[in-house]
Amino acid sequence: MDEDKNSFLNEFGGAYGYPNGPKSIDEIRATEFKRLDGLVYLDHAGATLYSESQMEAIFKDLSTNVYGNPHSQSDSSSATSDIVREARQQVLDYCKASPKDYSCIFTSGATAALKLVGEAFPWSRESCFTYTIENHNSVLGIREYALDQGATAFAIDIEEFAQDKASMRVLQHQAQRRNEAKFHQDELTGDAYNLFAFPSECNFSGFRFSLDLVEIMKEDSARILEGSPLCKGHWMVLIDAAKGGATEPPDLSQYPADFVVLSFYKLFGYPTGLGALIVRCDAAKLLKKTYFSGGTVAAAIADIDFIKRRKGVEELFEDGTISFLSIASVSHGFKILNSLTISAITQHTTSLAMYVRKVLLSLRHENGARVCKLYGVPVSKVLRHEFGPSISFNLKRPDGSWYGYREVEKLASLSGIQLRTGCFCNPGACAKFLGLSHTDLLSNIEAGHVCWDDYDIVRGKPTGAVRVSFGYMSTYEDAKKFVDFVKVSFVALSNQTASLYEFKQGDETRLSAAKVSLRSIIIYPIKSCAGFSAERWPLSSNGLFYDREWVLTSLTGEILTQKKVPEMCFISTSVDLNLGILFVESPRCKVRLQIKLISDSDNGVREEINIHGRRYEVQGYNNEVSIWFSTALGRPCTLSRCSSSDYKFCSKKNKNTGMCRDVQSILNFANEAQFLLISEESISDLNNRINKRDAQKGTEEASFQVNPMRFRPNLVISGGEPYAEDGWRNLRIGLKYFGSLGGCNRCQMINIVHTAGQVQKSNEPLATLASYRRVKGKILFGILLRYESSDEEQDNDIWLQVGEEIHPNCIKLQEKWNSSCIV
């Protein structure tokens, strides 16, 4: 056992690993989670994992028993009713809720349970919906029902909650009302029903809220609301335990909340699409049900306004046939948790979270600056138990600027670590901990930022965070691999080697005396399909003639690429300029498709599509072409061709656009630029580094070699030093001039390997590139170019030829760029 683990066990050994359980954590991982070998899964707050024995028990149960629709009297229906009854009791037992006081309503998830409360709650214009600022969007959605019924809604921020309840400090946010009609305080009767909602554990920060809030709101709401007239009436309390329930389910025998919501896939991984609403029986009587369905009525008459609703709480609110086979699976999940015990699971997961928090807070750059900013955890409380097994943070560079959370997620994935980034559907907590004002949030939205996009830094501020979270099957090794990943990837130390890219970029003096020439020309007529090589090829204002001039789309209009449809690589293309035909072949199609470059007639529909913020007018093809490509890909799709004459931008008009990306010149369906240039010498250096990393890992497999075609270049060059192209501002190939738009940011697509008709994914070469080619969140390899045609040149007169000599950093072209754009 290594020294680091010994140190961890000395501090947390009594809590870690289930020392008194039926299996140790190492035995659990070895027997129940073999699929995690080589993978670190740290998104248990999003969804925890099911065990092998759990799924085996479920399969045995379903394969040996017959469960029928419970809305009947048959034996199979009775068997279903029995397992549903047992499952309800298990849910109540999990939260120590007496069946005399509480009922369990099964729903399609925790969100559906919250929606049910919002829809059926007895709102009035005197009602108030109050909620902690740290709440999931699914809780905030209840606000819509309250406001629509004329009620008031407002958030509170619990700034401090000590053991002494009287010391609680609360910040009340602005009240919201949709009904502009005002009423005086003396008009309030005090008979309205109000709802207070809070999470047992914040899914953003991991902070565990005190369940004493239940008693305080029910018995002394005036203290929280500081004498506001809105505190009048009867207060009911909702606990969102979807996140916190996995490690600390609320004890309803001590904290009698009116509503508690649970999500089973967050408790034990399976089933998904099933949740529960635990509701106090007296609170259930106040809920107003409008819709009725099969199973919720005792009798109904079709042609008159008559229904007789069922009296049972569960029967009344469970619309239609419940997901009884999923419910049958619940008992097998609870069996796992009960065998380990919730207290042991809490201790185990908390010990891992405390260890990671401690290490992250200790990290320093070489200049002494902190590396990590933890959210919701004051330094003085890092080793206290007020937090669940979730850690939210962002990382900083030595100069104090932020690493983007998408960069962290991307590199973590390359290291076999699965984590979560963003705001985790908790906008209040996100804004609070990131220090984002309403103005900041609205400005970010105006800048185009929405949930799940790549805008991780806007105006110098993070728009979200990184979150790691632990489950009952997490190990010390998981935690250690994660903190080591952070140290290696984001901590700047004095003995680290500078990025090769950083000291070569823009270095015009490091030009090799060796001859540099054009080795290959590759054209990709159909976006994301295989291309073909040519000894010579004509240039146009769009780049290479016919390069990425066609695109495949789904029937819903989605652009198809190899990222989502890797099989596109098996569609081969070639263009015969003499015959004027695009030839397309696929191993799934017997006939080679022929498409005329110049159509005799326009037999396709013209329409507009949007790609990467650019609008294109495209021409479609007949049904025969669509059937061919649908067969080739095994999914319905259509082929479209760019009508380039209808999409033009003059490269001289916008003089305020820099050289970072090709937003000025004419493009077909290329992502960023007309050309991608790759150097054979750079590829060779990359392969050497990959093999060296493999040797250090002790990998016994054959040497890994990356082919230049893995990067889908248009131009492959030979000669000179590795990465010399990084410093090229422009270049001349023969008598043709090209401007450099900078390095090409690489993505997971280059990790897709096509061998023997199969598509496989690996971590290379992106993992190795990330170790030495990473610059401010981007992993750069190759350079992007645009063709600088002169006014005198005609498109059909200009050709590129393999073997032509390349001359970097031409003074003539630099003078042209300086006069036409700001560099």
pLDDT of residue 395: 97
Question: Which pLDDT does position 662 carry in this prediction?
Answer: 43
Q: What 3-state DSSP class applies to 174?
A: coil
Which three-class secondary structure string do you get for 356-412? HHHHHHHCECCCCCECEEECCCCHHHCCCCCECCEEEEEEECCCCCECCHHHHHHHH
**Longest Cα separation, the chain:** 94
Query: What whole-number distance in Å separates Cα of residue 102 and Cα of residue 100?
Result: 6
Residues in the chain: 823
Report pLDDT for 647.
35
Q: At what angle do helices 75-94 and 324-340 cross, to 10 degrees?
A: 40
Task: Judge contact between 762 and 512, C-beta under 8 A.
Answer: no
Q: What number of other Cβ atoms are within 10 A of residue 532's Cβ? A: 15
pLDDT by residue (tens digit) across 431-444? Answer: 999 999 989 888 88
Fill in the DSSP letter of residue 560: P
Tokens of 475: 């190990």
Give the residue among 147, 168, 148 at the shortest CA–CA distance from 158.
168
pLDDT by residue (tens digit) across 76-125? 999 999 999 999 999 999 999 999 999 999 999 999 999 999 999 999 99
**Residue 22 Cα distances to 33, 51, 338, 531, 614, angstroms:** 16, 15, 11, 58, 60
pLDDT > 90 fraction of the chain, expressed in percent and rounded: 68
Identity of the residue numbered 493: L
The angle subtended at Cα 355 by Cα 352 and Cα 360, nearest 5°, is: 125
On whether the CB atoms of residues 77 and 69 are closer than 8 A, the answer is yes
pLDDT value of residue 500: 42
Q: What's the DSSP call for residue 221?
A: H
* Distance from C-alpha of 478 to C-alpha of 25, rounded to nearest angstrom: 12
Q: Is 213 helix (H, G, I), strand (E, B) or coil?
A: helix
CA dist 648 → 112, 212, 663 (Å): 49, 65, 11
Instruction: State residue 800 phi and psi, 5-degree precision.
Output: -95, 145
Please give the structure tokens belonging to residue 130. 């109050």
pLDDT at 656: 34
Helix axes 25-32, 52-64, angle to 10 degrees: 50
Q: Is the dihedral of CA 601, 604, 605, 606 positive or negative?
A: negative
CB 632 within 8 A of CB 589: yes
C-alpha 718: how far from chain center: 39
What is the enclosing helix (H) or strand (E) of 107?
A: strand 102-107
Residue 751 CA to residue 759 CA, distance in Å, equals 10
β-pairing, 193-199 vs 234-240, is: parallel
Rounded Cα–Cα distance for residues 395 and 408 (Å) = 9
Strands 390-395 and 128-132, sheet pairing:
unpaired
> What is the structure's pLDDT at 187?
60
Residue 97 to residue 821: CA distance in whole angstroms:
70
Give the pLDDT confidence score for residue 690 in this predicted structure.
92
Task: Sketch out the chain's domains with CATH numbers.
Answer: 3-18+344-490 (3.90.1150.10), 75-177+191-339 (3.40.640.10), 521-642 (no CATH), 675-808 (no CATH)
Two structure tokens written together for 816: 């042209």
Is 255 strand, coil or helix? coil
Structure tokens of 118? 């919002």
User: What's the CA gap between 500 and 768, in Å, rounded?
Assistant: 13
3-state helix, strand, coil in the chain (%, to 5): 35, 25, 45
Instruction: Find out whether 90 and 102 touch, Cβ atoms under 8 Å.
Output: no
The angle that helices 324-340 and 342-362 make with each other, rounded to 10 degrees, is 70
Helix, strand or coil, per DSSP, at residue 797: helix
Determine which helix (DSSP H) or strand (DSSP E) holds 501, and give its type and residue range: helix 500-504
CA angle 116, 105, 231 (to 5 degrees): 50
Angstrom distances, CA of residue 254 to CA of 249, 277, 349: 12, 18, 24
Separation between Cα atoms, residue 194 and residue 127, nearest integer Å: 5
φ/ψ bin of 557: left (φ > 0), alpha (ψ from -120 to 50), beta (otherwise): left
Give me the active site residues, please: 425
- For the chain, 823 residues long, the average pLDDT of each consecutive 10-residue run is 90 92 96 96 98 97 96 93 97 97 97 97 94 96 95 87 63 83 58 95 95 91 71 91 96 98 97 97 94 89 92 91 96 97 97 96 95 80 71 96 94 94 94 92 83 84 96 98 96 60 46 80 96 95 92 91 90 95 95 87 64 73 94 94 52 34 61 92 95 76 79 96 95 94 91 79 89 89 90 67 93 55 38
Eight-state DSSP code of residue 238: E
In terms of DSSP H, where are the helices of 150-230?
212-219, 221-225
- Are 286 and 235 in contact by the 8 Å Cβ rule? The answer is no
Q: Are 722 and 683 in contact (CB under 8 A)?
A: no
Q: E strands, 207-352, where?
A: 234-240, 259-263, 275-280, 297-301, 306-309
Q: What sign has the CA pseudo-torsion 134, 137, 139, 144?
A: positive
Q: Rounded to an integer, what distance in angstroms lies between the CA atom of residue 197 and that of residue 69?
A: 35
Three-class DSSP labels, 533-553? EECEEEEECCEECCCCCEEEE
For residue 391, report the phi and psi dihedrals to the nearest 5 degrees: -130, 125
What residues contact 338, with CB distance under 8 A and at least 6 apart? none
- In this structure, is the dihedral angle defined by the CA atoms of residues 121, 126, 131 and 135, taken in order, positive or negative? positive
Q: Which residues contact 669 (CB under 8 A, 6 or more apart)?
A: 527, 548, 549, 550, 551, 611, 616, 642
Structure tokens that stand for 503 in this block? 């000291």
* 391 bridge partner residues: 468
The C-alpha R_g of the chain, in whole angstroms, comes to 31
d(CA 201, CA 243): 6
Task: Extract the tokens encoding 607.
Answer: 């329409």
Q: What is the distance between the terminal CA atoms of the chain, rounded to a whole angstrom?
A: 56
Going across the sheet that includes 572-576, the strands are: 572-576, 581-585, 593-596
Q: According to the model, what pLDDT value does residue 755 have?
A: 75
Note whether 768 and 478 are within 8 A (CB). no
